[in-house]
Structure 1
Amino acid sequence: MTGRFITLEGGEGAGKTTQCARLVEALMTCHLPVVPTREPGGAPGAELLRGMLLAGGVDWAPQAETLLHFAARAEHVAKTIRPALEEGSWVVCDRFYDSTMAYQGYGQGADRRFISELIRLLGIKPDLTLVLDVPDPVAATRMRQRGGDADRYERLDAAFHARVREGFRQIAATEPDRCVVVDASGGIDAVHAAIMEAVDRLL
Structure 2
Amino acid sequence: MIEHPSQGKLIVFEGPDGVGKSTIAEQLAYRLGEVGIPCEHLAFPVREPCSLGRLIDDLHHYAPGLGLGDVNPTSLQLMHIAAHIDAIEGRILPALRAGTWVILDRFWWSTWVYGGAFGVSECSLKAMIDLERLHWGRVNPDVLFLVERNIGASVDFDGLQGQILQGYRELAGREQVNSCVITLKNDTSVEDTLDAVWEAIKPFIRSLTKSRTTSSESQKDIQLTLLRDTIPNPTVVSRLSPAKPTIVYETYWRFAVERQEIFFRKL
TM-score by length of 2: 0.63
CA contact (8 A) 1:66 1:104 kept: yes
Query: What's the counterpart of residue 108 of structure 1?
Result: 118
CA contact (8 A) 1:42 1:80 kept: no
Query: What's the counterpart of residue 94 of structure 1?
Result: 105
1:20 matched to 2:31? The reply is no
Cα distance in 2 between the residues matched to 1:76 and 1:138: 38
Off by >6 Å, runs of 4+ in structure 1: none
1:180 matched to 2:172? The reply is no
Structure 1 regions of 5+ residues with no counterpart? 141-157
Cα distance in 2 between the residues matched to 1:197 and 1:139: 31
Of 57, 67, 81, the residue aligned with 1:50 is 57
Q: Which one scores higher on RCO, CA 8 angstroms, separation ≥ 6?
A: 1
Of 30, 39, 61, the residue aligned with 2:72 is 61
SS in 1 for 2:171: helix
| TM-aligned CA deviation for residue 166 of structure 1 | 1.2
After superposing the two structures, state which structure 1 stretch, 50-59 or 188-197, moved more. Answer: 50-59
CA contact (8 A) 2:85 2:132 kept: no
Of 35, 39, 44, the residue aligned with 1:39 is 44
Q: Deviations over 1:32-69 (max 9, x none)?
A: 10111111125512221111123354533332122111
1:135 matched to 2:158? The reply is no
CA contact (8 A) 2:47 2:57 kept: no
1:72 matched to 2:83? The reply is yes
Q: Percent identity?
A: 25
Superposition CA RMSD, Å: 2.2
CA contact (8 A) 1:8 1:93 kept: yes
Q: 1:99 to 1:201 in 2, by over 3 A?
A: farther
Query: What's the counterpart of residue 170 of structure 1?
Result: 170
Q: How many residues align?
A: 185
In the alignment, residue 122 of structure 1 is paired with which amino acid? H
Query: What's the counterpart of residue 218 of structure 2?
Result: none
| TM-aligned CA deviation for residue 13 of structure 1 | 1.2
Query: What's the counterpart of residue 131 of structure 2?
Result: 118
| TM-aligned CA deviation for residue 116 of structure 1 | 4.0
In the alignment, residue 35 of structure 1 is paired with which amino acid? E
In the alignment, residue 148 of structure 2 is paired with which amino acid? D
Q: Deviations over 1:120-163 (max 9, x none)?
A: 323242221111012344887xxxxxxxxxxxxxxxxx922221
Rg larger in 1 or in 2? 2
